[in-house]
Amino acid sequence: MENHQLSSDNPMILEIRELLEKSRKNIAQQVNTELLTTYWNIGRIIVEYEQQSQLRAEYGKQTLKELSKELTREFGKGFSRSNLQNMRAFYLAYEKCQTPSGKLAWSHYCELLTISDECKRSFYEKEAVNSVWSVRELKRQIESSLYERLLLSSGDANKEKVLSLAQKGIEIAQPADIIRDPYVFEFLGIPENKPYLESDLEQALVMQIEKFLLELGRGFMFVGTQQRITLNNTHYYVDMVFYNKPQANFQPIFSYLVKWR
């Protein structure tokens, strides 16, 4: 009797697996979009009720508390007073758009709602979508003041450009827009006040290359360290070389130590 056992790389299995993975992804996307739309509308109803009833702040808090009890009793978890407050804030923050991006989860938006500045919040939202940040990564970028560091590093003359990026999303126009000037090296594990050599910095970057690539931006691939280049018959050694796929060019990086005063 012939053995008709199918291997995991059988074309039929591969095709069905791809179909199921695509279907699950689409279902998850639809569920997430529906959840965000529902939460947005719950926030709208709460705000409209407050406006119609002209509730004072203390009565508004009590209303949310009672609403939380009723919804939790009937629909289960997910309707704590703090989460209802987030839904209310969600509606107020996105009142004009009416269609929040389904590419981010509710947890992302809860983190974004801690930002009161609209341009700043828009910057982090679009960068989270474009760079596919997890909630943890989004929080880390906010806490590392990426937005403010970009403003400072670009100078006064380029502040409008950075604000434009915050409103439109990051656009790949030139390497300066991709490679951010003010890197945060806290993930390298090098103490701030400890003296160290440039080779230590290079080694630390290589050890954390995956995270460093995320810091650089989108589309970077690591080529190697101490790569030799020749210019005018003179040999130079580049500390690290990256290839940027969207730009289709190589990006050399030299690690220098500068003493801060």
216 to 11, 22, 85, 184, 249: CA distances (angstroms):
38, 30, 36, 11, 15
Residues 25-68: tens digit of each pLDDT: 766 677 778 888 888 999 999 998 888 777 665 666 788 889 99
Residue position matching structure tokens 């979009």: 33
Confidence of residue 161 (pLDDT cuts 50, 70, 90): low
Predicted TM-score (pTM) of this structure: 0.56
pLDDT, tens only, 1-25: 455 676 777 788 888 888 887 776 7
pLDDT at res. 90: 94
In the chain, domain spans: 23-102, 113-171, 186-253
Mean pLDDT calculated for residue range 84-108: 83
Residue 261: is its pLDDT beyond 80?
A: no
pLDDT given for residue 223 in this prediction:
67
Closest CA to 189 of 175, 203, 170, 168: 203
Burial (CB < 10 A; 0-12, 13-18, 19+), residue 119, is middle
Indicate whether 109 pLDDT > 80: yes
Distance in angstroms between the alpha carbons of the first and the last residue of the chain: 81
Q: In the structure, how many helices (H) and strands (E) does the chain have?
A: 11, 3
Q: Which of 34-48, 193-207, 211-225, 234-248 has the highest mean pLDDT?
A: 34-48
Q: Which residue has the higher pLDDT, 169 or 100?
A: 100
